Homo-oligomer: A and B are copies of this chain.
Amino acid sequence: MLTLEENELLTRTGPGTPMGAVMRRYWIPALLSWELAEPDCLPVRLKLLGEKLVGFRDTSGRVGILEEHCAHRKASLYLGRNEGDGLRCVFHGWKYDVTGQCVDMPCEPPQYRFADKIKLRAYPTVEFGGIIWANMGPPDRVPAPPKFEWTQLPETHRHLTKTWEECNWLQALEGGIDTAHIGFLHWGLAKKAYGKLSEDDPTSFRLRAQAPELQVDTTDYGFRYAGIRHLGEQGDYVRGYHFVMPWTQIRPTQAQGSGGGAGRKVEWKSTIGGHFWVPMDDEHCMVWNWDYSFGEQPLSAEDRYDSSAGPENVYEDQGFRKKRNKANDWLIDREVQKHKTYTGIQGVNTQDHAIQESMGPIADRTTEHLGSIDRAIIVGRRLLLQAVKTVHDGGDPPGVAPSYYKLRGIEKLIPQGADWRAELLPPMYQEEGSKVLAT
């Protein structure tokens, strides 16, 4: 439960807000690289932390992310012409380069031109991993580039989509760093749907102990946490996640089902998934969905199948809005809900979005009741509130140093009662470990 003040503090991210100041200290996933497919391609509109922006790739291939409106008379540069290493306003032809500098002012007689005095707000970008990242913070505090492991892999080994979610970013984050809902929202009826599950079925792992034990360790980048499900003599099924400040989840996807029906067995793969939940404004966020293979095998078509966010499930030409969305009740099928799946809603990601969007544009956390399974959420809020104070006091928030580059989400079946940290931490850090701040 939060006070109204705390809830406001955590959910408001526009210019001038304390949480907005924290977020502006990180690299922000701004655009998919393919949205600016080639030099001189079309400009695109985007919204980050409440700011309306326009992105373009210039003739030389450089990316610009500028405030949306021309400095002259405030026309939208989204209507602009991307030409000759700059984005030109079609009202009077003022042109801006990727740094926001006005470089042409053809409507003025030569003696009156003052292009050198005009500069739009522009944000530095880096591009890798299929993403154009922007930094909206103080130029002297730009952090290390956001080289999550998967961003350094070839396209064969990674898969990336994004989806517009119609609620505040914190609802999305708090849905994501919550392992306990898996056995309900996503799999609650699986036993019924699949028949009697084999003990070796990964779904069975998640269903046999629906109430996981949660352990959370604070780190210098955020926290890691384990959801432990005790399966008796079969062992303990442990799912180890990372939360990297301020909006990143790294999630294990190794235990996958192979075969069919009651004979389905676990197959351990070398895959990991995750999300970024990035505020567009206070009532909308962009959910970035990624999967990758850290083994030799590339991602298979099945690995790439995205149950919610692929082009078949979003309107890419309508801001990546879901086809199953709040306005149509996520196309809930009540017959399916009665007999086949827990929600009657198709797609794991859509199930997440539905439940989060159903809380309203900004959830009322003053009347909630958290339990033991919400420990990761509680720690996450504490970290975010501490980061507000740290940044306010002039410090650097967690997760700006590159200590998160090698993180992996790992799940394992370990011997009953074994120490999960001993078993999981080495692979969660690629054998190297990390300084644990608190457990």
Contact = CB atoms under 8 A, between A and B. Distances in A.
Interface of A: 42, 69, 71-76, 78-79, 81, 90-93, 105-110, 112-114, 117-118, 174, 180-181, 183-185, 188, 210-213, 332, 334, 337, 342-343, 345, 354-356, 358-360, 363-365, 367-374
B91 A184 contact: yes
Contact of A90 (B71, B188, B371): B188
Contacts of A373: 92, 107-108, 112
A342 B174 CA distance: 46
12 contacts: A76-B355, A79-B355, A91-B181, A91-B184, A91-B185, A91-B355, A92-B184, A92-B185, A107-B373, A112-B211, A112-B373, A117-B369
Q: Which of A72, A118, A370, A371 has the most B CB atoms < 10 Å from its CB?
A: A371
Nearest to A52: B360
A341 to B, nearest CB: 10
A interface SS class: loop
A211 B107 contact: yes
Copies in the complex: 3
A90 to B, nearest CB: 5
A259 B132 CA distance: 50
A374 B72 CA distance: 10
B184 A107 contact: yes
* A-B pairs with lowest CB-CB distance, top 8: A76-B358, A112-B372, A93-B184, A74-B359, A109-B211, A74-B363, A107-B180, A75-B355
B93 A358 contact: no
Nearest to A76: B358
B343 A90 contact: yes
